[in-house]
Chain A
Amino acid sequence: MANKTPQIPSIAELMDKIKSGKIFSDIAKEITESQLWTSSFRHGYADTPRNRVLQIASNVWLHLHPVKMHRHALRIKFTWCMGGITFLLFLSTVVTGVILMFYYRPVGEYAYYDLKYLQYDVPFGMLMRNMHRWAAHAMVITVWLHMFRVFLTGSYKPPREFNWVIGVFLVTFTLLLSFTGYLLPWDQLAMWAVTVGTNMARATPFLGNEGPFAEFVGVTPRYDARSLLIGGSLVGPPALLRFYVLHCIFIPLIAGALMIVHFWRIRKDGGISGPL
C-alpha cells in the first residue's frame, strides 16, 4: 500500500465504480483498514469460532463472561434469568440515581421541594424518579426470586458455598440500599417508615437505650445504636444526610464490589451449576 503512489481515478472509472456499487465496499475497506478503526476494534466481525472467542475475551464489559458455557445453563427455565435481571435493575438505578443527584440536596429545608421541582419542572424528571423507584422495588423482588431459584436448584452446594454467602450479603445490601433511599424524598411516607424501621435499633440488646441489658452499658437515647444510625434521637435532617451518604456512596460501592466478586466466583466455581 505504502509504495503505491496514490492515483487520481479518472471520471469514467469513478462512474463505473458508483454504478456497480463497488464504491461502497471501497469506502468500507478504506475505513475498516484505517489506523483509527483497527486500533479501536481489535477483531473482525466474521462469524468464526476465533471471533466468537475474541468478542468475549477482548471486551472489557463482556469478559466477565466465560468464553464457552454449558448448554443447560442457557435455559431460562433453569436460571429464570433472575440474577441478570437483578444486575440490570441495579444498573438502571445507578444511571437514574446519578441523574436525580443533579437535582437533589439532602438538606431538611430543600429535599422535599427539590423533589417537587424535579417532578414538575425538570424535563423527564418525573420519569427518572419513577424509574429509579420502581427499579429499586423490582430489584428487591428479583433478588428474592434469584435466591429462591438458587436454593431450589441446590446451587449453594459445593463448590458454590462461598458465593451463596456473598449472595446473602448482596440481598442484605439490596434491602439496605432500598431502605436508605426510602428516606430521601423527605415526605411523610419516608419519615415515618424510616422512624418505624430505625426505632428497632433502640431495642438492640446492650447497645440500644430500650434494649435488654442496656442499663448495664449506660446508653442513652442520645448515645446508642440508634443515634449512631440517624445522628440524633429522632429522624431529622442529620438522618437525612447520613442516609444520603450511605445510599449514594457507601452501600452502592460495597454492593457493586460484591457483585463483581459474585460474578467472578460463578466462573471460578465452574460456571452455572448443572447436573453432574
Chain B
Amino acid sequence: MAEAATPKKKIEEVPEKLHVWPYLVRLEFLCALVVIIALTVWSIVIDAPLEEAANPTKTPNPSKAPWYFLGLQDILVYFDPWFAGVVAPVLIIVGLMLIPYLDVNPKGNGYYTYHERKVAIWVYCFGFLVLWIALIIMGVFLRGPGWNLFMPWQYWDPHKVVALVSVDLPYAFGFRDYTWSAIFGGTVLLAYFGIGTGAYFFLERKALKSVGFLRMFIKIQLALIMMGIVIKIVLRIGFNIKYIMVTPWISV
C-alpha cells in the first residue's frame, strides 16, 4: 500500500480513527475551494456555445448527440437503432448494477490491486476506456458529415463518397434465399452464444458449485454480448459484413 514507504513507527503514533472535524472537513473545504475557483475561471474564459435559433427545417450534417452519448451513436454504424439506442444502454445499466452480484471474488475489497482481480479489471477497463471513452473521443473529433471518418487534418467534405459494399453474412456464404439466410444467421448467433456458454461452463466447471449456475450464466451472456459488439465492429471494418442474421422483423 501507499504508506509502506513511510517508516512504520510513525504510522503507529497516529490513531486508527480520526475526528472528521477537522481532518476531513478541512480537506473537503480545500477541495471545494479549488474546484469552485477552477470552475469560475473556466467559465470566465470560455463561453458556453449558443448557435443560431433552432430550425426544424435545417438539419446540420453531421448531427451529433451530446458528447457523452457519442459512443452509443457510433455503435449505430454497426447495429440497428433498436440495439444501439435502446437495448445496449439498458444492458449497460443493468450490467453495471449486476456487477456486485456477479463478481464474487472476495479479494480486492477496499484497496487498489490488479493481481488479485485481473479479469474484472480487464473487463471493466475495456468496456469503460475502449468501448465508452475511446468511441466518444472518436465521435467528437473524427466523425464528420455523413458520420464518415475524417482524420484531424482532413477537410470535412460533405460530399465524400463512401462505397457501400457491405453484405450480410449469409449472403457472403452464398445464401440467396430469405428463409435459408435467416435460418443460417440464426444458427450462427445461437452457436456463438451456445458454444461460448458451453465452453465457459466447461472451463470453469470447478467454480460452478461455489459461484452458482445463474450467476455464471448471466456473467457469460453479458461477456458474450460485449465481445459480440467488438466482433461485429471487426467484421464490418475488416470484412464488410453488415448483418449476421436478417429477418423481416429484426436484424442483428
Q: Chain A residues in contact with chain B, CB under 8 A? A: 49, 52-53, 55-56, 62, 65-71, 74-78, 81, 84-85, 88-89, 92, 112, 115-116, 119, 126-127, 129-135, 138, 140, 144, 148, 151-158, 160-161, 164-165, 168, 171-172, 175, 178-179, 182, 185-193, 195-197, 199-205, 208, 210-213, 234-236, 273-276
Q: In the bound complex, do residue B48 and residue A133 qualify as a contact, i.e. CB atoms below 8 Å apart?
A: yes
Q: In the bound complex, do residue B106 and residue A210 qualify as a contact, i.e. CB atoms below 8 Å apart?
A: no
Measured in the bound complex, the distance between the Cα atoms of B40 and A157 in whole Å is 37
Measured in the bound complex, the distance between the Cα atoms of B63 and A191 in whole Å is 10
Given A152-B112, A188-B52, A189-B51: A71 and B17 within 8 A (CB)?
yes
Lowest 10 A-B CB distances belong to which pairs? A200-B85, A203-B81, A161-B100, A273-B110, A130-B43, A191-B54, A212-B250, A55-B21, A154-B108, A133-B48
Query: Shortest beta-carbon distance, A238 to chain B, in Å?
Result: 13
Q: In the bound complex, do residue A235 and residue B65 qualify as a contact, i.e. CB atoms below 8 Å apart?
A: no
B164 interface residue, CB < 8 Å from A?
no
Q: In the bound complex, do residue A164 and residue B20 qualify as a contact, i.e. CB atoms below 8 Å apart?
A: no
Which residues of A are found within 8 Å of B27, using beta-carbon distances? 74, 76, 81
Q: In the bound complex, do residue A130 and residue B69 qualify as a contact, i.e. CB atoms below 8 Å apart?
A: no
Q: In the bound complex, do residue B108 and residue A56 qualify as a contact, i.e. CB atoms below 8 Å apart?
A: no
29 A-B interface contacts by CB (under 8 A): A49-B19, A67-B19, A68-B17, A69-B23, A71-B16, A74-B23, A81-B31, A84-B28, A84-B31, A89-B35, A92-B36, A129-B48, A130-B48, A134-B39, A134-B42, A134-B46, A144-B128, A153-B111, A154-B109, A154-B113, A186-B53, A187-B51, A196-B73, A200-B84, A203-B80, A208-B86, A210-B81, A212-B82, A234-B56
Q: In the bound complex, do residue A65 and residue B20 qualify as a contact, i.e. CB atoms below 8 Å apart?
A: yes
Interface positions of B from 104 to 126, Cβ below 8 Å from A: 105-113, 117, 121, 124
Q: In the bound complex, do residue A77 and residue B2 qualify as a contact, i.e. CB atoms below 8 Å apart?
A: yes
B128's contact among A52, A71, A148, by CB below 8 Å, is which? A148
Which residues of B are found within 8 Å of A156, using beta-carbon distances? 99-100, 103
Q: Chain B residues in contact with chain A, CB under 8 A? A: 1-2, 14-25, 27-28, 31-32, 35-36, 39-40, 42-44, 46-56, 58-60, 63-66, 68-69, 72-73, 80-82, 84-87, 93, 96-97, 99-101, 103, 105-113, 117, 121, 124, 128, 249-250
Q: In the bound complex, do residue A164 and residue B100 qualify as a contact, i.e. CB atoms below 8 Å apart?
A: yes
Q: In the bound complex, do residue A193 and residue B110 qualify as a contact, i.e. CB atoms below 8 Å apart?
A: no
Q: What is the chain B residue whose CB lies nearest that of A183?
A: B54
Query: Shortest beta-carbon distance, B60 to chain A, in Å?
Result: 5
The A-B contact count (CB < 8 A) is 225
Q: In the bound complex, do residue A74 and residue B96 qualify as a contact, i.e. CB atoms below 8 Å apart?
A: no
Which residues of A are found within 8 Å of B86, using beta-carbon distances? 200-201, 203-205, 208, 211
Overall SS of chain A's interface = helix
Which residues of B are found within 8 Å of A55, using beta-carbon distances? 21, 25
Measured in the bound complex, the distance between the Cα atoms of B93 and A199 in whole Å is 20
Given A199-B85, A204-B82: A189 and B110 within 8 A (CB)?
no
Given A186-B54, A187-B53: A199 and B81 within 8 A (CB)?
yes
Q: In the bound complex, do residue A74 and residue B18 qualify as a contact, i.e. CB atoms below 8 Å apart?
A: yes
Measured in the bound complex, the distance between the Cα atoms of B28 and A213 in whole Å is 52
Q: What is the chain A residue whose CB lies nearest that of B89?
A: A200
Given A127-B43, A188-B53, A200-B86: A193 and B66 within 8 A (CB)?
yes
Given A168-B96, A203-B85: A197 and B69 within 8 A (CB)?
yes
Q: Taking A157-B109, A203-B86 as given, write out 13 further A-B residue pairs in contact, using a Cβ cutoff of 8 Å, ordered by the A residue number.
A: A52-B22, A69-B20, A131-B40, A134-B42, A151-B99, A152-B112, A156-B99, A161-B100, A164-B100, A187-B49, A187-B52, A192-B60, A199-B81
